[in-house]
């Protein structure tokens, strides 16, 4: 099999349902791939372990995830910290105090053995684990040691080596070498700098392809990619991304049409400034309720565009950050019902296309977002839609199916 055949039509992040026939000689087992219901637990899974933070008991959190119908989770593997001090206690600095992903103040973490323990708990529950990194800043800003794609590859090989030694490599769904590359919050080490979403610049593509190439040499069966967040999804068709096994592209209603919704409500992504959330509290729901069909149309149009790109490129899609607003939380005047309405529309539309192998219901599906998390019935209804959605079978190949072999349908 040549390389082109090997990667053509990248596979569905999917569960395998094997139907055993009475006579295996004449009726071999049939394989059906179905879309995974995934969520993003980012760096929160390790950082938010103080009482009441949501992840202080991983067994409780993961049992809650299974109860809601999810069978995959995307987490930060902290590759730079693992590589430069796997069992060292690191002092982390807050990336924000307005959001409730991760810590809102300084915190201390150790990457090992925590990462292995968490993956093992997922594996026992038939939950697949997608690895990524937001490259959290520690007191020494260790991430700035990532000075080349060669270093980027090596830190990720260190992570995968640790997972392999623990006998858990088949639990890994894919490895995303950097979240929303080359956003300056997550990749400040990348030089010369590029604006958010400018992954397609020549020096960025060179870094991307070289780092993936090197990880691929060490782990030829591991699905690899960088995740992106930008407006022009057609860029996928303009550049050579043959090294990618899938596209993870983050989509929300709020940034569409030049950030129209956020411009109206005056939200500016302030990480340490409360005015943005005050404006959301006073204006967001009313703005949506004035013309819901319009805002829903912006979202579904974007979903349809990326689905068409996926079909043309013959690469499957995954999404773990999505659908309504980028930023939200439990707050005095912030309600969840209208946001869940938007998220349901996005989830159902994406599931109907057959192009996504892993679909999230929002980027708030986590224990710390109490108003979203406690609606168990809503999650069960959405995950049922996802896991029963049609999937283009031409997207399946050996590399992306490898982590799923032998797993039952939950």
* 138 DSSP assignment: B
What pLDDT does 120 receive? 98
- Structural domains of the chain sorted by starting position, each given as residue range(s) with its CATH number in brackets: 3-404 (3.20.20.80)
Site of tokens 């894919």: 174
* CB of 196 closer than 8 Å to CB of 180: yes
- DSSP β-bridge partners for residue 134: none
Is residue 295 within 8 A of residue 288, CB to CB? The reply is: yes
What SS3 state is found at 337?
helix
What tens digit of pLDDT does each residue of 202-237 get? Answer: 999 999 999 999 999 999 999 999 999 988 999 999
Neighbour tally for 246: CB within 10 Å: 27
Q: State the average pLDDT over residues 7-22.
A: 32
Mean predicted confidence (pLDDT) in 58-63:
98
Confirm whether pTM is higher than 0.85. yes
CB atoms inside a 10 Å sphere around CB 237: 11
Tens digits of per-residue pLDDT, 274-294?
Answer: 999 999 999 999 999 999 999
Q: What is the pLDDT of residue 332?
A: 97
pLDDT at 67 over 90: yes
When the pLDDT of each residue in the chain is averaged and rounded to a whole number, the result is: 91
pLDDT of residue 32: 56
* Beta strands 14-19 and 30-42, pairing class: antiparallel
Cα end-to-end span (Å), the chain: 32
pLDDT band at 330 (very low <50, low <70, confident <90, very high): very high
- Given this model, what pLDDT does residue 1 score? 39
Read off the DSSP letter of residue 239: S
Dihedral over Cα of 319, 320, 324, 327: its sign: negative
Whether residue 182 is preceded by a cis peptide bond, meaning omega within 30 degrees of 0, is yes
The count of other CB atoms within 10 Å of the CB of residue 195 is 10
Alpha-carbon distance of 18 to 318, in angstroms, equals: 23
Q: What is the pLDDT of residues 348-393, one digit of tens each?
A: 999 999 999 999 999 999 999 999 999 999 999 999 999 999 888 7
Tell me what pLDDT residue 404 has. Answer: 55
Q: Is the pLDDT of residue 74 over 50?
A: yes
Q: Residue 67: exposed, middle, or buried by beta-carbon count in 10 A (0-12, 13-18, 19+)?
A: exposed
Q: How far is the C-alpha of 211 from the C-alpha of 207, rounded, in Å?
A: 6
**194: DSSP letter:** -
Residue-level pLDDT at 15: 34
Q: CA 404 to CA 23: how far, in whole Å?
A: 24
- Average pLDDT rounded to a whole number, residues 86-105: 98
Please give the pLDDT value at position 407. Answer: 45
Best CA proximity match to 236, nearest among 216, 264, 208: 208
Phi, then psi, of 85 in degrees rounded to 5:
170, 70
Please indicate whether residue 104 or residue 15 has the higher confidence score (pLDDT). 104
176-205: pLDDT as tens digits? 999 999 999 999 999 999 999 999 999 999
Question: Residues 403, 407, 410, CA angle at the centre, nearest 5°?
Answer: 125
Residue 405 pLDDT class (50, 70, 90 cuts): low
What are 240-256's pLDDT values in tens digits?
999 999 999 999 999 99
Answer yes or no: are the C-beta atoms of 330 and 369 closer than 8 Å. Answer: yes
Crossing angle of the two packed helices 376-387 and 337-353, in degrees rounded to 10: 10
């Amino acid at each position: 099999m040549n390389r082109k055949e090997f990667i053509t039509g990248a596979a569905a992040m999917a569960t395998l349902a094997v139907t055993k026939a009475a006579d295996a000689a004449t009726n071999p087992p049939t394989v059906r791939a179905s879309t995974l219901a995934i969520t993003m637990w980012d760096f929160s899974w390790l950082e938010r372990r103080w009482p009441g933070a949501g992840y202080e008991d991983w067994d409780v959190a993961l049992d809650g995830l299974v109860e809601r119908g999810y069978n995959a989770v995307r987490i930060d593997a902290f590759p730079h910290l693992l590589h430069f001090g796997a069992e060292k206690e690191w002092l982390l600095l807050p990336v924000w105090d307005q959001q409730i992903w991760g810590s809102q103040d300084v915190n201390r973490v150790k990457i090992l053995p925590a990462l292995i323990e968490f993956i093992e708990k997922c594996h026992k529950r038939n939950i697949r684990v997608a690895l990524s990194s937001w490259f959290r800043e520690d007191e020494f800003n260790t991430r700035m040691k990532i000075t080349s794609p060669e270093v980027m590859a090596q830190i990720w090989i260190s992570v995968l080596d640790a997972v392999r030694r623990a006998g858990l490599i088949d639990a890994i769904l894919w490895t995303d070498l950097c979240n929303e590359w080359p956003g300056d919050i997550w990749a400040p080490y990348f030089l010369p700098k590029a604006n958010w979403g400018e992954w397609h610049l020549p020096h960025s593509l060179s870094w991307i392809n070289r780092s993936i190439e090197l990880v691929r040499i060490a782990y030829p069966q591991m699905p690899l990619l960088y995740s992106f967040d930008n407006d022009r999804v057609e860029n996928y068709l303009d550049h050579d991304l043959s090294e990618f096994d899938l596209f993870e592209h983050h989509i929300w209603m709020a940034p569409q049409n030049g950030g129209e919704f956020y411009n109206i409500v005056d939200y500016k992504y302030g990480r340490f400034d409360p005015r943005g959330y005050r404006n959301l509290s006073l204006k967001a729901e009313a703005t949506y309720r004035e013309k819901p069909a319009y805002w829903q149309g912006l979202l579904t149009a974007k979903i349809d565009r990326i689905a068409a790109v996926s079909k043309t490129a013959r690469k499957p899609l995954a999404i773990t950050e999505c659908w309504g607003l980028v930023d939200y939380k439990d707050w005095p005047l912030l309600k969840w019902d209208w946001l869940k309405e938007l998220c349901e529309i996005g989830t159902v539309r994406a599931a109907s296309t057959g192009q996504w192998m892993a679909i999230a219901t929002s980027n708030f599906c986590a224990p710390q977002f109490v108003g979203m998390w406690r609606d168990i019935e809503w999650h069960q209804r959405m995950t049922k839609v996802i896991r029963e959605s049609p999937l283009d079978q031409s997207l399946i190949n050996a590399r992306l199916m490898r982590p799923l072999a032998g797993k039952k349908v939950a």
